[in-house]
């Protein structure tokens, strides 16, 4: 007869960067069951948005996440542009793509470093952090800040890419092509790193579909999904991006932590290629549609409707839905679905059969951003706690898709 | 065991030291005394061209239109109705430069000043920094 024990990882744990609790059921060292309990870091950002106008909410949405802050900003801005019917000059779109990819590079490098730290490979962690400094410097040169750039605005961007900046970026791309490969080889050829990551936290392709994994987590399980390809936005229409899946590079997709590591590492190279193409194709012209903020505010005050913004953030699909009411200056409601929310559902599957010591690594392997994920629960106020079944959810989802297709046709 | 990391680590021993030991290389016996003598401290790394630091406010030029209050995401600006002027709480400001963009007379500008922490609440309130200085950017 075996006895199982319940052990919590978190909410505060040395292996976690943000508070989340995973209640693990252990049989000896082996995890036989898991239950993830978020809820320790809800900040009520959507509520704060209701007493601010869209321009103020740009900076609020920037603070949803410190790492993929530009993704959230852009997603929010695209939602507003969608509902107000604003257009963005091509140069603005290219600069947005540029910042998105710079952010992807820095996010993946940070994650790769932290993953090494989680398996106790501290020297590689420091190497990763050292590599990341270069892209942070470029972001600082371009936007003035290392995080929370404040670079996007409705109808374009706020700062231009000067020729000197473009030169510095090309130099950065060369630096990474030269210096990133040793880092990749150090980790991917290391027998201990292999032992810690191979076969750990497996999520099969079929499970990834069933549990709606997104971004690198889904791609590591072999799913060819990338919004930059399936629904191009900004400059991705001009710059084709192929989803990176492990079977193309290593023969098979195992969906374990090493595959997630490999996918992110390959995506850094892909981002460098995209950055180069953006710099090559950067068109001349204005980078913002409307410089007068008063006019922007006035036009947004008149706008009414619901807008959507969906982009491929470094961690997966990021979705923002915003509603503005005509005549009301403030945001009426705003819904954020951060990628971690979709990926965290797969945690219990990844834990199966692994050892307790691997739990922090598995949690970190989806690159979680807990505070981005923690969103409000909706109640209709009548206290009717109803569970929506999977079939019903699918039905609603299809209906909504048809509605949207009809609207855009 | 010889791994690929070992030659890397050996190489790093002879690399230049890059960390800026700010504000002092070692913990001084008394931090309060050390901070009282700014000349003895290690200066911070210079800020970038587009860095946005503490706000400069040209009070005389301000026309009291309150547009800056309307766009400030952090509610860092306060309006003084009697004087038709504003004041800026630096400790709340998130340095987004939105107010400098909307101000019709451009009396708000971002400075490159990043050393703005202070124990005294009053020191982080900007009421007037005089006419626009030269270290500012648009
Ligand atoms: S810089 Fe931004 S946060 Fe600071 S006072 Fe101006 S608008 Fe407010
Ligand atoms: S926007 Fe400029 S002129 Fe108007 S109140 Fe603010 S600081 Fe004064």
pLDDT at A408 over 70: no
Average pLDDT over residues B9-21: 85
**Which listed ligand is nearest to A63 at the C-alpha?**
1
CA-nearest of A227, A239, A311 to A274 is: A239
A300, A386: one domain:
no
A340, A398: one domain:
no
Q: Which helix (H) or strand (E) holds A399?
A: helix A390-408
Contact B127, B86 (CB under 8 A): no
> Percent of chain A having pLDDT more than 70?
96
Contact A315, A366 (CB under 8 A): yes
Confidence of residue A321 (pLDDT cuts 50, 70, 90): very high
Residue B95 in tokens: 């340095």
pLDDT at B78: 92
**What whole-number distance in Å separates Cα of residue A87 and Cα of residue A79?**
12
Question: A313-322, B14-23, B80-89: lowest mean pLDDT where?
Answer: B14-23
Query: In a 10 Å sphere around its CB, with 0-12 CB exposed, 13-18 middle and 19+ buried, how is residue A401 labelled?
Result: exposed
Q: What is the CA radius of gyration of chain B?
A: 21
A385, A287: one domain:
no
Q: Which residues of B touch A (CB under 8 A)?
A: 3-5, 8-9, 48-52, 67, 70-74, 94-98, 101-102
A291, A227: one domain:
yes
Using a 6 Å CB cutoff, which residues line ligand 1?
Answer: B 55, 71-74, 76-77, 88, 93-99
**Cα separation values, A115 from A11, A118, A187, Å:** 19, 5, 10
Closest Cα to atom 3, ligand 2: which residue?
B62
**What whole-number distance in Å separates Cα of residue A369 and Cα of residue A365?**
11
Q: Report yes or no on A157 lying in a domain.
A: yes
**Which listed ligand is nearest to A58 at the C-alpha?**
1
A383, A328: one domain:
no
Report pLDDT digits (tens) over A359-368.
989 999 988 8
Confidence of residue A396 (pLDDT cuts 50, 70, 90): confident
What is the distance in A from the centroid of ligand 1 to the CA of B100? 8
Sort out which chain A residues have CB atoms less than 8 A from B102's CB and list them: 293-294
**Cα separation values, B106 from A53, B52, B69, B82, B136, Å:** 22, 15, 14, 22, 12
pLDDT at B136 over 50: no
pTM, entire model: 0.90
Domain boundaries, chain B: 46-138
Q: Can you name the residues that pair with A37 across neighbouring β-strands?
A: A21
What is the total count of domains within chain A?
2
A265, A385: one domain:
no
pLDDT at A386: 67
Write the CB contacts of A121 (distance below 8 Å, at least 6 apart in sequence).
A187, A190, A192, A193
∠ CA A362-A252-A236, rounded to 5°? 80
Q: Which domain covers residue A384, as residue numbers? A: 378-409
A234, A313: one domain:
yes
A334, A393: one domain:
no
Q: Report yes or no on A220 lying in a domain.
A: yes
Confidence of residue A278 (pLDDT cuts 50, 70, 90): very high
pLDDT at A175: 95
Average pLDDT over residues A132-152: 91
Contact A267, A108 (CB under 8 A): yes
pLDDT at A303 over 70: yes
CA-nearest of B120, B129, B76, B123 to B98 is: B76
Report pLDDT digits (tens) over A206-256.
999 999 899 999 999 999 999 999 999 999 999 999 999 999 988 889 999
What fold, for B46-138? Alpha-Beta Plaits (3.30.70)
Contact A80, A324 (CB under 8 A): yes
pLDDT at A315 over 80: yes
pLDDT at A380: 58
Pick from A315, A333, A351: which residue ends a domain?
A351
pLDDT at A377 over 60: no
pLDDT at A379: 53
Pick from A308, A333, A351: which residue ends a domain?
A351
Confidence of residue B138 (pLDDT cuts 50, 70, 90): very low
Residue A246 in tokens: 């492990």
Instruction: Dihedral sign for Cα A27, A29, A34, A38, please.
Output: positive
pLDDT at A37 over 60: yes
Cβ of B126 closer than 6 Å to ligand 2, yes or no, is no
Report CA B29 to chain centroid distance, whole Å. 28
Report CA A63 to chain centroid distance, whole Å. 14
Question: Which of B1, B2, B3, B17 would best serve as a mutation to test chain A binding (most A beta carbons within 10 A)?
Answer: B3
Quick check: B52 and A57 CB within 8 A? no
Average pLDDT over residues A51-73: 91
A341, A403: one domain:
no
Q: Report yes or no on A127 lying in a domain.
A: yes
What is the distance in A from the centroid of ligand 2 to the CA of A79? 30
A393, A286: one domain:
no
Closest-CA residue of A relative to B99 is A293
User: What's chain A's average pLDDT?
Assistant: 90
Question: Which of B98, B103, B111 would best serve as a mutation to test chain A binding (most A beta carbons within 10 A)?
Answer: B98
Q: Report yes or no on A278 lying in a domain.
A: yes
Q: Which atom of ligand 1 is nearest to the CA of B52?
A: 1
Report pLDDT digits (tens) over B24-43.
888 888 877 887 887 778 88
Confidence of residue A285 (pLDDT cuts 50, 70, 90): very high
pLDDT at B3: 76
Q: Return the CATH number at A322.
A: 1.10.645.10
Question: Which of B1, B17, B50, B103 would best serve as a mutation to test chain A binding (most A beta carbons within 10 A)?
Answer: B50
A313, A209: one domain:
yes
CA-nearest of A10, A213, A241, A5 to A104 is: A241
Pick from A307, A333, A351: which residue ends a domain?
A351
A269, A337: one domain:
yes
């Amino acid at each position: 007869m075996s006895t199982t024990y319940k052990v919590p990882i978190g909410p505060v744990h040395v292996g976690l960067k943000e508070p989340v609790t995973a209640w693990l059921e252990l049989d000896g060292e082996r995890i036989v069951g898991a239950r993830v309990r978020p809820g320790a870091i809800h900040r009520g950002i959507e509520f704060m948005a209701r007493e601010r106008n869209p321009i103020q909410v740009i900076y609020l949405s920037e603070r949803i996440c410190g790492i993929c802050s530009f993704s959230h900003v852009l997603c929010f801005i695209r939602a507003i542009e969608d509902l107000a019917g604003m257009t963005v000059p091509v140069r603005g779109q290219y600069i947005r793509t540029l910042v998105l990819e710079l952010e992807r590079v820095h996010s993946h490098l940070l994650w790769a470093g932290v993953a090494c730290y989680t398996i106790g490979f501290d020297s590689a962690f420091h190497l990763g952090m050292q590599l990341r400094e270069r892209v942070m410097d470029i972001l600082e040169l371009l936007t003035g800040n290392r995080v929370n750039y404040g670079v996007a605005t409705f109808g374009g961007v706020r700062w231009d890419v000067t020729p000197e900046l473009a030169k510095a970026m090309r130099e950065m791309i060369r630096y990474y092509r030269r210096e990133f490969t040793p880092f990749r080889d150090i980790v991917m050829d290391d027998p201990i790193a292999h032992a810690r990551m191979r076969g750990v936290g497996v999520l099969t392709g079929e499970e990834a579909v069933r549990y709606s994994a997104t971004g690198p987590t889904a791609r590591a399980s072999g799913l060819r999904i990338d919004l930059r390809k399936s629904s191009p936005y900004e400059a991705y229409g001009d710059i084709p991006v192929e989803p990176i899946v492990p079977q193309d590079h290593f023969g098979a997709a195992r969906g374990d932590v090493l595959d997630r590591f490999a996918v992110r590492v390959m995506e850094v190279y892909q981002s460098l290629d995209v950055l180069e193409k953006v710099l090559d194709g950067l068109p001349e012209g204005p980078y913002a549609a409307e410089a007068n903020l008063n006019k922007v505010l006035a036009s947004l005050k008149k706008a009414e409707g619901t807008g959507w913004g969906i982009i491929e953030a470094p961690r997966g699909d990021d979705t923002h839905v915003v509603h503005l009411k005509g005549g009301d200056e403030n945001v009426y409601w705003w819904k954020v679905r951060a990628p971690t929310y979709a990926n965290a559902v797969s945690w219990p599957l990844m834990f199966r059969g692994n050892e307790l010591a691997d739990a922090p690594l598995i949690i970190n392997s989806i690159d979680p951003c807990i505070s981005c994920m923690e969103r409000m629960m909706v109640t209709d106020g009548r206290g009717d706690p109803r569970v929506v079944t999977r079939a019903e959810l699918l039905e609603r989802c299809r209906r909504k898709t048809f509605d949207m297709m009809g609207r855009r046709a | 065991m010889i791994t690929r990391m070992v030659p890397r680590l050996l190489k790093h021993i002879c690399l230049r030291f890059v960390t800026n030991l700010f504000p002092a290389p070692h913990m001084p016996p008394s931090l309060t005394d050390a901070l009282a003598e700014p000349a003895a401290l290690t200066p911070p790394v210079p800020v970038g061209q587009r860095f946005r630091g503490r706000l400069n406010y040209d009070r005389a030029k301000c026309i009291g239109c309150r547009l800056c209050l309307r766009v400030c995401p952090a509610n860092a600006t306060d309006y003084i109705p009697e004087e038709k002027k504003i004041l800026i709480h630096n400790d709340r400001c998130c340095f987004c430069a939105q107010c400098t963009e909307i101000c019709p007379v451009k009396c708000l500008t971002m400075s490159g000043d990043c050393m703005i922490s202070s124990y005294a609440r009053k020191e982080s309130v900007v009421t007037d920094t005089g006419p626009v200085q030269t270290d500012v950017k648009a």
